[in-house]
Amino acid sequence: MQYHIEVTIGLKDGMLDPEAATIRKALEHLGYPTVSLGLQKKFIIDLDEASSDEAYSKVDEMCKRLLANPVIHNYDIVIEESI
Amino acid sequence: MQYHIEVTIGLKDGMLDPEAATIRKALEHLGYPTVSLGLQKKFIIDLDEASSDEAYSKVDEMCKRLLANPVIHNYDIVIEESI
């Protein structure tokens, strides 16, 4: 079975995000003041696995080992079956 | 009124994505083969505007002028009212 997975990775609350701060300042200089601005990264993964539980645990391992840094990042995994 | 906006930016179909290709290869080396892997960037923006239409057009301008490169990127804007 093929699964379509979306992994969203962002910094944990309280972590400084200089990239977001810089973009926010640049927008302000262009005349677009914002109340707040945050950044996340999204991975869209198609995976062949026997079950959605297995797909979830595989993607969870991928996040822990490569995609995210569990010390500073939160991540969120959404799985759906592909047609 | 304060609006909570999520902007998702990704490469247009057919654009090469060396970053995604590298991550896909790295996952394969770690023992996690994937059918496909794509990358998107997500901006989470809080904005003070008079109406959701105005918020939309402001964010659309932000995307065109700074956040995305309309030549190579697609972007998608989702707006909801903050409480």
Closest Cα partner for A58 from B18, B38, B36, B30?
B30
- Measured distance CA(A19)–CA(A44) in Å, rounded: 22
* Average pLDDT for B5-31: 97
Q: Is A8 on the interface with B (CB under 8 A)?
A: yes
> How high does pLDDT run on average in chain A?
96
Q: Distance from A43 to chain B by nearest Cα, in Å?
A: 5
Could you give the strand order of the β-sheet that contains B2-11, starting from the edge strand earlier in sequence?
A73-81, A2-11, A36-48, B36-48, B2-11, B73-81
CATH number at residue B6: 3.30.1280.10
pLDDT tens per residue across span B40-67: 999 999 999 999 999 999 999 999 999 9
In this prediction the pTM is 0.92
Mutate to test the interface with A, among B30, B35, B63 (most CBs of A within 10 A): B35
Query: B66 lies in which domain range?
Result: 2-81
> How confident is residue B16, by pLDDT bands cut at 50, 70 and 90?
very high
Chain A residue at shortest CA distance from B60: A32
ipTM: 0.90
Closest Cα partner for B25 from A66, A37, A8?
A66
Q: Is A74 on the interface with B (CB under 8 A)?
A: no
Q: Hey, what's the torsion of the CAs at A30, A32, A35, A40, to 10 degrees? A: -70
How many structural domains compose chain B? 1
- Measured distance CA(A37)–CA(A23) in Å, rounded: 8
Q: Which residues of B touch A2 (CB under 8 A)?
A: 35
